[in-house]
Amino acid sequence: MSNDNHDLGAWEFIGRRGGDAVSLVSSSVIAAVPEAKQAAEEARQELRFDFLDDRAVLELLRRRHLDEEDMFNAGLKHGFPLALVGFGVAICWGGVAQYWENSASRNAYLVVTMAVVVTQVFFFVRSAMTHWGDPVRQNLRARAKQYREIAHIARREGADVPAHYPHYGPYPFAATFHPEADDLG
């Protein structure tokens, strides 16, 4: 992951890829809510991370932003060419190739087309699996997910936490904690 957080203030992070800078909510605000503090202490044991340490949380959120950017860039790098080739193949088939009288030419077109599309799908899937399947990145996502849940508990109980803070989704997958990979990053 590259480090492009140099333009941020001391306690700021990017809430979404390409989004505005967001200020970190102090751990004292979250810890002031007993339910949120208890959830943070329980999660600390489970995920080996201090959710009430402002510096650690700030680094976590900054790394999570870089992780999201890396995933987006990898998807764009392989997904955009795949979409263009797929569109071109469909247009060429619909406008020209299906009307060829020689079935050998049509079959050759289909074989070459399928080979190109399958190759591009392979690279797209391999890239996605590299990013989504990396246990160190999954640990990062699992911790960010838990921090988000802790912040939402504090907000529901009246703490001054912005809506949707820290502005990442709920991570329905690829956020499994792998204790054996914790120290690999």
Average pLDDT over residues 33-60: 94
Decide: residue 149, CB within 10 A, 0-12 exposed, 13-18 middle, 19+ buried. middle
Q: What is the pLDDT of residues 140-173, one digit of tens each?
A: 889 998 998 999 999 999 898 888 788 775 566 6
For position 28, what pLDDT does the model report?
93
Residue 42 has pLDDT above 90, yes or no: yes
- Measured distance CA(185)–CA(45) in Å, rounded: 19
For position 1, what pLDDT does the model report?
46
Domain boundaries, the chain: 12-181
Nearest to 147 by CA among 53, 9, 32: 53
